Amino acid sequence: MGGPGGGRGGGPGGGDGMGGGGMRPPAQQNGQGQQGQQGGGMGRPPTGGMPGQNQNQNQNQSPNQGAARTGERGGTAGGMGGLLNGAQVSSKAKALVAKNADDYTWAAAAIGSQNAASYQLSTGKPVMAIGGFNGSDPSPTLAQFKGYVEDGRIHYFIGGGMGGMGGGSGSASKIQSWVEKNYTKVTVGSATFYDLTKPKS
């Protein structure tokens, strides 16, 4: 709390001052305290301010500063291309993933949450995101993924993800290699799928 100010009744913070952490103003004749100077305490803030904040900082800040910062972040995000932009899902690809989807825990699995989210939003069906945001997280492991496939819980694996970002030894890369080696490829337009219910003979 601020130190003793010159407020009415000796209240902390000097009335409407910014706290008593700085110089204590002298009391006026009527007992009403002056505004505290450079206070760093927890006196009552002015309208729109924060406790212990200089009121002039609020007044001098441009209202466009926040928008400018947002624009800078947006420009950076836009430059990252495939990392932040999801996959383009064609109507045929959407129909393939959605077909018989209710028979599975996951209609499909894709590397990276952006790719998985694109298909999940397009179809309204659950899609597993392998490796987290960019495919580098070790979840699920290859052993766990194999177990899901053996139990018939995933219908399709969506190829062309960001498995390379997780490194050659990452779980996502291992899963992708195992799927490509053992399951039938299905091509729909420019999209590649692997039917996890149809192993290669």
pLDDT for 162: 53
pTM: 0.56
* 120: enclosing H helix or E strand: helix 113-123
Mention every residue, 6+ apart, whose C-beta is less than 8 A from residue 14: 2, 5, 6, 7, 20, 24, 25, 33, 34, 35, 36, 39, 43
Residue with tokens 């992708």: 176
Which of 142, 145, 157 lies closest to 198, judged by CA?
157
* Beta strand spans in 14-113 (E): 106-111
Q: Is the pLDDT of residue 135 over 70?
A: yes
> Which tens digits make up the pLDDT trace of 29-81?
444 444 444 444 444 444 444 444 444 444 444 444 443 343 333 333 332 33
| Mean per-residue pLDDT, 180-184 | 96
Q: What is the mean pLDDT of the chain?
A: 70
> Which tens digits make up the pLDDT trace of 114-134?
999 999 999 999 999 999 888
pLDDT for 86: 60
State percent of the chain over pLDDT 70.
Answer: 53
End-to-end CA distance of the chain: 77
Give the start-to-end residue ranges of the domains of the chain. 1-61, 91-199
Q: Is the pLDDT of residue 85 over 90?
A: no
Q: Which two tokens stand for residue 58?
A: 């609020």
> Which tens digits make up the pLDDT trace of 16-41?
444 444 444 444 444 444 444 444 44
Buried b (16+ CB within 10 A) or exposed e, 174-201: bbbeebeeebeeeebeebebbebeeeee
pLDDT for 194: 98
Backbone angles phi, psi at 45, to 5 degrees: -75, 160
